[in-house]
Structure 1
Amino acid sequence: MFDSLRSRLILTLLSLLTVLAIASGLATLTTMKQDSRQQAEQALQVAANVLLQALDNRATQLNNSVRLLASDYGFRRAIATAEQETILSVLDNHGSRVDAALAVLFSPEGQLLASTNPALSSTDFSSFFTQGQSRSATDFNDIQKLGDESYQLVLVPVRAPQTIAWIGMGFQLDQQLAEQIKGITGLDISFTNAGGPSAVANNSTLASHLQPSVLTSLPEFKAGPQIPFSSADEQYLSLALPLDQHHILWALLHYPTERWQSSYQQIRQQLLTIFGVSLTLALILALVVARSITQPLKQLTQFATAIAQGQSNVRLPQATGEVGVLGQTLCKMQQAVQQREEQLVQQARHDHLTGLKNRTFAEQELQQILSQHHCSLILLNIKNFRHINDSLGFNSGDSLLQQVAERLQLVKPSASLLARLGGDEFLMAYPRPFQDSDALILKMQLQQGYYLDGSSLSLSFVLGIYCIEADSLPVSDALRRLDIALSNAKQLQEQYSFYQQGQDEHHQRRLTILRDLPLALQSNQLFVVYQPKVDLHQYQCDAAEALIRWVHPELGFVPPDEFIQLAEHAGLINQVTDWMLSAVIRQLASWRQQGIELQVAVNLSAHDLSNPGLPEHIASILQQHQLPSKALALEVTEGAVMRDPKQVIRVLHQLRQMGIDLAIDDFGTGQSSLAYLKQLPVHEVKIDRAFVKDIEHNHQDELIVSATVQLAHGLGLKVTAEGLENKAGLAILLQHQCNIVQGYYFSKPLTAEQFGIWLGGFSAKQNQWFTPEDIG
């Protein structure tokens, strides 16, 4: 019902008017109500001032009268001579003159000497007299409750010249006074006693049935007088005034709310009438306006619908004003949309920089190309293009990419598909097999003839080539294999490579290893084996090298070199090292509990040594298992040292200061070993197995081992020979005073349990490995 524009226009106008009318009415009524209440409060305040002024005038009248009596000589003499009848007569006569309801005489000590009201005693006046006596230098007046009545009292001392008595005189706060105040102010008044838990009306001009609803609200406002409050039945707005110092006697002024509510109700009725009439007129106006707007728009809607359906002969409806402009705009929009659709199709399918087809469109066309017989895909990459961007700027890089795109369109033979996949990678497709000669010709056509700021440049290109026979190979698989070929080409001198069968499986294997390695670390699929390190001077084994192993549930045994290298490239090597250190130190602690004290060496990678927090981490693990630092040895390769010599040497110094033995692994296979050997804080040099395994047959290997041992001993380092496989090699190593040997001659790497068994039999069967001449 409210989906049409006409309905929404009518609803909008009516809603707007309703909101405005309600807001205006509420604001008006609220302001009137607040104003009426303020006027009532002002009337109450004026009445309160009148009441206070009347009481003040009465107090002044009493005070003057009592002062006059206190200065009368005859009255003072009667007091001095204790003429009781004279005193009573004077008090009665003087009080009658001023219409006082009570006159009393007190001794200086507060004893009641005379009173015109015999029912009152000294006890009734004790509080009043005490307050007045405390102001002996001045007169005192207050309103007090005496018996069942309330009085406005004045107390004046009688001096001759010392104070010989006190005279008190008072007016009664009675119904007559209440009626007088009402006559002056026009408001009802009540004199109440609020000394107990509830207020009691002593005298009031209110009808008796109205008094409870007002008086029950008084206790809530006793703490804050001068604040008007409403009665329980909302008929009166009252103002409470305390009459005495103890706030026991109160005067309540009552303003009837009917005085302002009647006018408020009348104005509210008028506003409702005005609102109803306005709403009716607005509805009629909204109908007329909505029709005048929606009828031309309906025609334009029909015109736009016809355009959307592809109708070209539809006639534009005649209209004037904004609707006519809108119609003309729709015609122009139709033309602009057609042009923009063509542009969007172009942009969606082509690269904005080079104008070649983009990756998305190329993948769509590749699906059809892959169904052809003997097609070839070439993935082309500009070598070191990142350095061009870094050194010459991105604008120069963009210019080169545009020139490469133009050159690719000119090469012969022409490609059936040419696209830029992103960055500096371009894809070419040929509907025939691609040969080595084709790759060389393509590279020759692309390398030279580029210009930047007038200077000639030559570029180097890397080509990954994938020759495909017709099959149902998905596009994603084809691109992946093409990327594998490109990665291999970057490692080759000729800078191009054809995808070979099985490379994808190797790639998938690498991805599987990287994917499953974190889970293998968490689920303890990896384990540690230990290869004994035999001391040739002591003919005993008190050390071993820890080696990591992994038996994958699908791939089977994964060589350590394979997954460790992948872990280094993927940034997972730190997790592997943490796992290895924890496992080895935990096993060392277990062996120590069994009485087996060993030193176990763990290999560290270049990534481990670049971590400045490594020493602290190792110290925390050792401390956790309560192991001395000497129980752990660390081995680093020369290649790891060369990655960042300063950082590595800094970390190695910290590890040595902790008491951890350090060794250079695979010594002799790295670069600049002698240059850095004197700077490294190591204890041991390990000769690579390549120089040891055939030492009994290769004299050059023997010379290298001999020179290495002499060099290391000259620097104060121990020497460990790796890869010993037979007894003849052991004899040569003993001859050249090698310190430690490890290899298959003594034992292959063993599990922790197997190593414990081997270690127990090693000392008992030394003749199995050493001749008596060796030991002697």
Structure 2
Amino acid sequence: MIGLLALRQEFDRAIQGENGDVAPVGLVVARLQRLRDLELLYGHELGDALFHAMPERVREALRPGDKLVRIGEADCAVIFCNLRSRNHLELAAGRIARSFSDPVEIGERKFRVRVAVGAAYFPDDAHDFDALLMAADRACSRAVNNQYSYEMHRSDASATQYEHERLVQAIRQNELQLYLQPIHSARSPEKIVAFESLARWPCEGGFVPPNVFIPMAERGGLIQDLTMWSLHSSLRLLSQWLEFAPDISVSVNISPLFAADPVFPDLVQRAMGIWNVPPERLILEITETAFAENADAVIDGMMALKRSGVSIAIDDFGTGYASFAYLKDFPVSELKIDQVFIRTLLHRQRLQHLVASMIDMSHRLGITAVAEGVEDQKTLEVLASLGCDFVQGYHLGRPMLGETAVAELQAQFIDA
């Protein structure tokens, strides 16, 4: 079966218990990860084959009475009835996730694919079908970063306390805070070359994690507002430190969803004009996976900004599939080597060779190499010996409130 209507019908049938009672029901959403990336690597025939193979693999983990429904190109949903408890639903979610431990055979080749699985239990987690599906979908989004690839819905701060309306208020009432993390020269670590701006959402007792509120903004249509808040806040601080440190840039993270918007280049240009900052002092960071979705639109927008003098950095380099396909055409200014390659660099010779290759490739293309996640002096020294240009990480400087960072920077230049 295909579609949300079919899923709703299965839910309505499942909750009809004996004697007119409402029966408990479990809902699982399973989402194939990076389907578009695989298509870019191997072609649309592979994507079509995985489209058909995914539900078959999920079905292998189900009981005879469980109802499987296809609800999207990369999504399947399962209705579980006759569950003894919520714990049994969690076992079922884990079973679906583990069913993808073995490679999927497509023709004569085997492909190791990953799914994210989210589960929610009716009536404990939701009062109706729509709320149940939303709860399972949220759990599925969190499962992307879970080593076990599955998550149960939970009623905690990350799932329910900070909902869409609260984020709208935080952006519009300027409740967010801008933090800055310094980026240093690898060979002269005392020299700051740029700051990366980081949006933070303070709450009672701490901060809402960025991996919670940024996806929330993307799903809820707030990513343009959030990005423009970050951009204007960053340029405001940049305009202050340019008076005494005119060579230090600011780097702003851009959501792939917003980067593909036709209005994006014009909004960036207007923001630079408002704060009177030169384009060569602005770096826009975008993840390499942005080129897997809406690639043409992203490239067009970034090319327009690049021509105006803005620098473009590819963030989390090495963790996606699309990089090399677009490096040949897209004039990137920086490659930010993801911290997954840096944090265990000292203990793995193979990683050192890999990072050295990334740095060498960057330089051959006229691109600056930046290493993220530098946590100790020895790693810094190894990166410098490999020819890395810039570095950032807790060893060199933790993110600090934007105004504090500007004040410390000003003090350094006055003392100098």
TM-score by length of 1: 0.38
Deviation, 1:700, is 1.7
Cα distance in 2 for residues equivalent to 1:587 and 1:661:
18
Instruction: Report the counterpart of residue 25 of structure 2 in structure 1.
Output: 377
Whether the 8 Å contact between 1:724 and 1:744 is mirrored in structure 2 is: yes
| 2:181 alignment partner, SS class | strand
Q: Of residues 569, 575, 583 in structure 1, which corresponds to 2:219?
A: 569
Cα distance in 1 for residues equivalent to 2:353 and 2:406:
36
What one-letter code is carried by the residue in structure 2 that aligns with 1:544?
Answer: F
| 2:228 alignment partner, SS class | helix
Instruction: Report the counterpart of residue 694 of structure 1 in structure 2.
Output: 344
Instruction: Report the counterpart of residue 560 of structure 1 in structure 2.
Output: 210
Instruction: Report the counterpart of residue 542 of structure 1 in structure 2.
Output: 193
**Change in 2 beyond 3 A, CA 1:514/1:712:** same
**Change in 2 beyond 3 A, CA 1:765/1:731:** farther
Could you list the per-position Cα deviations for residues 159-213 of structure 1 after superposition, in whole angstroms to 9, with x for gaps in the alignment?
A: xxxxxxxxxxxxxxxxxxxxxxxxxxxxxxxxxxxxxxxxxxxxxxxxxxxxxxx
| 1:611 alignment partner, SS class | coil
Instruction: Report the counterpart of residue 387 of structure 2 in structure 1.
Output: 737
Instruction: Report the counterpart of residue 237 of structure 1 in structure 2.
Output: none
Whether the 8 Å contact between 1:376 and 1:465 is mirrored in structure 2 is: no
Instruction: Report the counterpart of residue 166 of structure 2 in structure 1.
Output: 516
Deviation, 1:592, is 2.9
Deviation, 1:504, is 3.8
| 2:266 alignment partner, SS class | helix
Instruction: Report the counterpart of residue 319 of structure 2 in structure 1.
Output: 669
Instruction: Report the counterpart of residue 721 of structure 1 in structure 2.
Output: 371
Cα distance in 2 for residues equivalent to 1:594 and 1:584:
16
What one-letter code is carried by the residue in structure 2 that aligns with 1:683?
Answer: S
What one-letter code is carried by the residue in structure 2 that aligns with 1:674?
Answer: F
Instruction: Report the counterpart of residue 51 of structure 2 in structure 1.
Output: none
What one-letter code is carried by the residue in structure 2 that aligns with 1:547?
Answer: L
| 2:167 alignment partner, SS class | helix
Q: Of residues 152, 155, 166 in structure 2, which corresponds to 1:505?
A: 155
Cα distance in 1 for residues equivalent to 2:415 and 2:120:
61
| 2:330 alignment partner, SS class | coil
Worse-matched range after superposition: 479-488 or 680-689: 479-488
Tell me if 1:612 matches 2:262. Answer: yes
Instruction: Report the counterpart of residue 97 of structure 1 in structure 2.
Output: none
CA RMSD of aligned residues (A): 4.4
| 2:127 alignment partner, SS class | helix
Deviation, 1:439, is 7.9
Q: How many residues align?
A: 341
**Change in 2 beyond 3 A, CA 1:704/1:556:** same
Deviation, 1:431, is 9.3
Instruction: Report the counterpart of residue 100 of structure 2 in structure 1.
Output: none
Whether the 8 Å contact between 1:532 and 1:543 is mirrored in structure 2 is: yes
Matches within 5 A, 1:406-485: 430=82, 466=121, 476=127, 480-481=131-132, 484-485=135-136
Cα distance in 1 for residues equivalent to 2:356 and 2:126:
59
Cα distance in 1 for residues equivalent to 2:340 and 2:181:
18
Cα distance in 2 for residues equivalent to 1:474 and 1:568:
23
Deviation, 1:720, is 0.7
Whether the 8 Å contact between 1:466 and 1:499 is mirrored in structure 2 is: no
Whether the 8 Å contact between 1:608 and 1:614 is mirrored in structure 2 is: yes
Cα distance in 1 for residues equivalent to 2:185 and 2:83:
67
What one-letter code is carried by the residue in structure 2 that aligns with 1:612?
Answer: P
Whether the 8 Å contact between 2:27 and 2:78 is mirrored in structure 1 is: yes
Instruction: Report the counterpart of residue 116 of structure 1 in structure 2.
Output: none
| 1:546 alignment partner, SS class | strand
Instruction: Report the counterpart of residue 234 of structure 2 in structure 1.
Output: 584
Whether the 8 Å contact between 2:180 and 2:195 is mirrored in structure 1 is: yes
Instruction: Report the counterpart of residue 638 of structure 1 in structure 2.
Output: 288
What one-letter code is carried by the residue in structure 2 that aligns with 1:651?
Answer: G
Cα distance in 2 for residues equivalent to 1:760 and 1:475:
52
Q: Quick one: higher RCO (CA 8 Å, sep 6+), 1 or 2?
A: 2
Whether the 8 Å contact between 1:376 and 1:430 is mirrored in structure 2 is: yes
What one-letter code is carried by the residue in structure 1 that aligns with 2:381?
Answer: A
**Change in 2 beyond 3 A, CA 1:637/1:760:** same
Matches within 5 A, 1:91-490: 369=21, 376-378=24-26, 430=82, 466=121, 476=127, 480-481=131-132, 484-485=135-136
Cα distance in 1 for residues equivalent to 2:141 and 2:374:
38
Instruction: Report the counterpart of residue 602 of structure 1 in structure 2.
Output: 252
**Change in 2 beyond 3 A, CA 1:752/1:365:** same
Instruction: Report the counterpart of residue 70 of structure 1 in structure 2.
Output: none
Whether the 8 Å contact between 1:686 and 1:721 is mirrored in structure 2 is: yes
Identity across matched positions, percent: 28
Deviation, 1:756, is 3.0
Deviation, 1:526, is 0.6
Deviation, 1:483, is 6.5
**Change in 2 beyond 3 A, CA 1:464/1:366:** farther
Whether the 8 Å contact between 1:484 and 1:499 is mirrored in structure 2 is: no
What one-letter code is carried by the residue in structure 1 that aligns with 2:312?
Answer: L
Cα distance in 2 for residues equivalent to 1:632 and 1:521:
22
TM-score by length of 2: 0.68
Q: Which runs of 5+ in 1 are unaligned?
A: 1-352, 384-410, 419-423, 444-461, 767-776
Cα distance in 2 for residues equivalent to 1:703 and 1:561:
31
Deviation, 1:369, is 2.4
Whether the 8 Å contact between 2:314 and 2:332 is mirrored in structure 1 is: yes
Cα distance in 1 for residues equivalent to 2:219 and 2:140:
19
Higher Rg of the two aligned structures: 1
What one-letter code is carried by the residue in structure 1 that aligns with 2:270?
Answer: S
